[in-house]
Amino acid sequence: MNFAFDKHKTALLIMDYQKTIVDRVPHGSQALLEKAAQALAAARATGVKVIYVVIGFRPGYPEVSPLNKTFETLRESGRFEPGSPGTEVHAAVAPLPGELIATKHRVSGFSGSDLEMLLRAGNIDTLVLAGISTSGVVLSTLRQAADLDFRLGVLRDACTDMDPVVHATLMDKVYPRQAEVMDVDEFVAALART
């Protein structure tokens, strides 16, 4: 792996690691949390900016159109309103004081959030993605970030999907066209070289 980057222009995005989402991971949530925590610790230790991306809605879900099948179902569930149980980032990877949180209203980390503004204002040109799920927030954010001309890395073992075959296909065949796919250990080693 030859993922060299400027740590001062790089952000680690921890996406949809909210408790209610982590609790739905069908296999290996503990290993996933450990890998995400390892990536976070390395990023923090080397000065890489950490930004959390979470899903959330105002009371009554005014952001959700009845035409949106995915989010209409979510509205009916009553999840992700302010203060509702499980909306907080999982304690194993919780933000530290001063770390940024961008709240999105769709699948992509950019949709309905101020993520792009935070990145541009912070002079960030490289994103390293960790998220739940590989075929959801990670895919949508990766595609949009590539279109916005960000350099991209994806942490294979800090992402997961309900379907392991879909996860493997995206990581092995789709993502490498636009991003450097790496394990957390490779990311930590790359940070040590900066």
pLDDT at 66: 87
> Which tokens go with 188?
């930590």
pLDDT at 89: 96
Enumerate residues 6+ apart whose C-beta is below 8 A from 34: 92
What region, left, alpha or beta, does residue 182 occupy, with left being phi > 0 and alpha being psi -120 to 50 degrees?
A: beta
pLDDT at 164: 93
Is a pLDDT exceeding 90 seen at residue 147? yes
Is a pLDDT exceeding 90 seen at residue 175? yes
pLDDT at 5: 84
**pLDDT average, residue stretch 152-171:** 96
pLDDT at 119: 98
Per residue in 122-139, pLDDT tens?
999 999 999 999 999 999
pLDDT at 28: 67
**pLDDT average, residue stretch 32-45:** 97
**pLDDT average, residue stretch 72-85:** 83
Is a pLDDT exceeding 90 seen at residue 69? no
Is a pLDDT exceeding 70 seen at residue 179? yes
What 8-state DSSP symbol labels residue 67?
Answer: T
Q: What is the Cα gyration radius of the chain?
A: 16
pLDDT level of residue 1 (50, 70, 90 thresholds):
low
Three-class DSSP labels, 8-55: HHEEEEEECCEHHHHCCCCCCHHHHHHHHHHHHHHHHHHCCEEEEEEE
Summary mean pLDDT of the chain: 93
